Amino acid sequence: MTKIAVSVEEAVEISGISRSGLYKMFRAKKLNPRKNGKRTLVLVSELSALIENLPVAA
Protein backbone atom coordinates (compact mmCIF):
# COMPACT_ATOMS: atom_id res chain seq x y z
CA MET A 1 0.00 0.00 0.00
CA THR A 2 1.28 3.45 -0.93
CA LYS A 3 1.32 6.09 1.80
CA ILE A 4 -0.68 9.27 1.19
CA ALA A 5 1.05 11.18 4.01
CA VAL A 6 4.48 10.89 5.58
CA SER A 7 6.28 12.29 8.60
CA VAL A 8 8.75 15.14 8.21
CA GLU A 9 11.61 12.66 8.57
CA GLU A 10 10.19 10.47 5.79
CA ALA A 11 9.60 13.56 3.61
CA VAL A 12 13.29 14.44 4.04
CA GLU A 13 14.30 10.92 2.97
CA ILE A 14 12.09 10.68 -0.10
CA SER A 15 12.55 14.25 -1.35
CA GLY A 16 16.18 14.99 -0.60
CA ILE A 17 15.13 18.34 0.88
CA SER A 18 16.61 19.07 4.29
CA ARG A 19 14.46 19.24 7.42
CA SER A 20 15.11 22.97 7.75
CA GLY A 21 14.29 23.38 4.05
CA LEU A 22 10.91 21.73 4.56
CA TYR A 23 10.13 23.98 7.51
CA LYS A 24 11.09 27.04 5.39
CA MET A 25 8.60 25.83 2.78
CA PHE A 26 5.95 25.46 5.49
CA ARG A 27 6.54 29.05 6.64
CA ALA A 28 6.49 30.33 3.04
CA LYS A 29 3.16 28.49 2.49
CA LYS A 30 4.69 26.50 -0.39
CA LEU A 31 3.86 23.27 1.43
CA ASN A 32 0.97 22.73 3.85
CA PRO A 33 1.78 20.49 6.81
CA ARG A 34 -1.00 18.53 8.48
CA LYS A 35 -1.18 17.80 12.20
CA ASN A 36 -2.30 14.57 13.81
CA GLY A 37 -1.87 15.20 17.50
CA LYS A 38 1.79 16.13 17.90
CA ARG A 39 2.84 14.52 14.59
CA THR A 40 3.43 16.71 11.58
CA LEU A 41 2.49 15.04 8.31
CA VAL A 42 3.14 15.99 4.70
CA LEU A 43 0.90 14.83 1.87
CA VAL A 44 2.99 12.91 -0.65
CA SER A 45 0.99 14.40 -3.53
CA GLU A 46 1.79 17.97 -2.38
CA LEU A 47 5.45 17.12 -1.90
CA SER A 48 5.64 15.58 -5.38
CA ALA A 49 3.90 18.57 -6.96
CA LEU A 50 6.26 20.97 -5.20
CA ILE A 51 9.33 19.12 -6.45
CA GLU A 52 7.97 18.80 -9.98
CA ASN A 53 7.42 22.58 -10.11
CA LEU A 54 10.91 23.53 -8.94
CA PRO A 55 12.99 25.35 -11.57
CA VAL A 56 15.01 23.17 -13.92
CA ALA A 57 18.76 23.40 -13.37
CA ALA A 58 20.69 24.84 -16.30
What total of structural domains would you count in the chain?
A: 1
Query: 4-58 pLDDT, tens per residue?
Result: 999 999 999 999 999 999 999 999 999 999 999 999 999 999 999 999 999 998 8
Provide the pLDDT for residue 27: 97
Q: Is the pLDDT of residue 1 over 90?
A: no
42 in a domain, yes or no?
yes
Residue in 6, 38, 4 with CA at minimum distance from that of residue 22? 6
Provide the pLDDT for residue 58: 85
Alpha helices in the chain (DSSP H): 8-15, 19-27, 44-52
43 in a domain, yes or no?
yes
What is d(CA 46, CA 30) in angstroms, rounded to the nearest whole number?
9
Distance of CA 40 to the CA centre of its chain: 10
Provide the pLDDT for residue 47: 97
57 in a domain, yes or no?
no
The pTM (predicted TM-score) of the whole model is: 0.87
Residue span of the structural domain in which 29 resides: 5-52
Residue in 38, 26, 1 with CA at minimum distance from that of residue 11? 26
